[in-house]
Amino acid sequence: MSTDVSHIAIVIGSMRMGGAERATLNLVNGFAEMGIRCDLVLVKTEGVFLGELHPEVNIVSLGRGRALFSGFALSRYLKRIRPQLIIANQTHVHLLTLWSRNRTAKNIPVILNEHSLISRNLKKGSWKTKLIMFLAHRWFKSANAVSAVSQGVADEFVNNFPELISKTTLVYNPVVNDELIKKSYENINLPWPNENPIPVVLGAGRLVPDKDFKNLIEALSMLRIKRRVRLVILGDGPERDELMNIAQQLNFGSDISFQGNISNPFAWMRSCSMFVLPSRREGLPMTLIEAIACDCPVVSTDCQSGPGEILNGGLYGKLVPVGDPVAMAKAIEETLDNKGIDFDKGTALKPFLVSSVCENYLALIQKLLSEKSF
């Protein structure tokens, strides 16, 4: 696509390990590879993904550490540098960006990139949630567009902000590129010796209740009555000790390994027998897409939202009810027996290619720029 888009600012809290951060990494790198100047504006200049940025990406540090204190710094940046358009990620950064833009640079279009189910992502009833939702209803209407990362996220967003239905559009996260595939072929050492082929199931994500790794451990403990399987979990979080105790209680301790946060999950996806997503809720689970790209058979809960869209209603991998370890154990067993489901991987992955998503964003950006009034 030929484009007159030359300078984009993308604002996010930090570049720590996380889905929104990895998607931002892929997006800024994708724009940079297309020759578009891209400023990555950070509330906190920290995170493992900083080391993976394209050399042409310009890091802008607001230097305040919290979104609450970063408004004037962002206003100064916008007034001085004046990018053509801003893409803002995460609810607190949405508010920060709109306040700053409305204060000093009203003619710069803003896209709010929504990654999660906003009403479920905030603690119900707290004063902070009430304040955020009050400000969101007041300020979000000044955004020029909202890009939701899945249809489920778009539907939930519009349900909370019906006044923004005409501005809300589906733009999937950028996930798959050559770098992902290259990294998937790197060598890893599984935490057990190479003995008789025992299937290794992989899970990945933050160890918190919404990811429901307890359900996965229970499902595999049921399956182990019939056959021996092992489990590797990538990621860290407050539930780590509890999950380790559950595994020990289920006599699963010797065949489960918690690897913590790692920079290259893709090599694990290619090396393990299958990938399982046991979540209670998601926005768009990138790990599910990444596993498919790494030729790893998948099973997922049919949670809100994302898995059903990614797996095309179960055509690309088995979907099971949320919180049902019996159904999950059965799906895992069938997937191991059949080595997954046959499908056209190119068709499944096309919506999530970094190149495709960058083109989709450029089309939206061109539309907004053509509508901009000075």
Kindly indicate the confidence band of residue 41, based on its pLDDT and cuts at 50, 70 and 90.
very high
Q: Are 206 and 287 in contact (CB under 8 A)?
A: no
Q: How far is CA 89 from CA 99, 172, 201, 228, in A?
A: 14, 14, 32, 43
Q: Are 325 and 215 in contact (CB under 8 A)?
A: yes
pLDDT tens for 289-324 read: 999 999 999 999 999 999 999 999 999 999 999 999
- Determine which of 164-178, 189-203, 228-242, 274-288 has the lowest per-residue pLDDT on average: 189-203
Place of tokens 């020029």: 144
pTM of the model: 0.94
pLDDT tens for 220-238 read: 999 999 999 999 999 999 9
CATH code for the domain defined by 7-174+353-371: 3.40.50.2000
Residue 1, pLDDT above cutoff 50: no
Residue 196, pLDDT above cutoff 70: no
Taking the C-alpha atoms of residue 6 and residue 131, their distance in angstroms, rounded to an integer, is: 36
The residues, any chain, with a CB within 8 Å of residue 71's CB and separated by 6 or more, are 96, 99, 100, 103
Taking the C-alpha atoms of residue 101 and residue 355, their distance in angstroms, rounded to an integer, is: 28
> What CATH number matches the domain at 178-351, 3.40.50.2000, 3.90.1010.10, 3.40.50.970, 3.40.1000.10?
3.40.50.2000
* 85, β-bridge pairs: 8
Taking the C-alpha atoms of residue 364 and residue 326, their distance in angstroms, rounded to an integer, is: 44
Put the strands of the sheet holding 7-12 in their side by side order. Answer: 58-61, 37-42, 7-12, 85-89, 110-114, 145-148, 168-170
* Identity of the residue numbered 292: I
Identical fold, 7-174+353-371 and 178-351: yes
Phi–psi pair at 334, nearest 5 degrees:
-65, -40
pLDDT tens for 251-263 read: 988 999 999 999 9
Give the pLDDT score at 339. 84
pLDDT tens for 112-165 read: 999 998 776 666 667 777 888 899 999 999 999 999 999 999 999 999 999 999
* Identity of the residue numbered 33: E
Q: Are 95 and 132 in contact (CB under 8 A)?
A: yes
The alpha carbon dihedral of 142, 169, 361, 68 has a sign of: positive
Taking the C-alpha atoms of residue 256 and residue 214, their distance in angstroms, rounded to an integer, is: 12
Where do the H-state alpha helices sit in the chain?
A: 19-33, 71-81, 91-104, 118-121, 127-139, 151-160, 178-184, 213-223, 240-249, 265-271, 286-293, 307-310, 325-338, 345-349, 354-371
- The domain segmentation of the chain, as residue ranges, is 7-174+353-371, 178-351
Q: What is the DSSP string of 12-35?
A: ES--SSSHHHHHHHHHHHHHHHTT
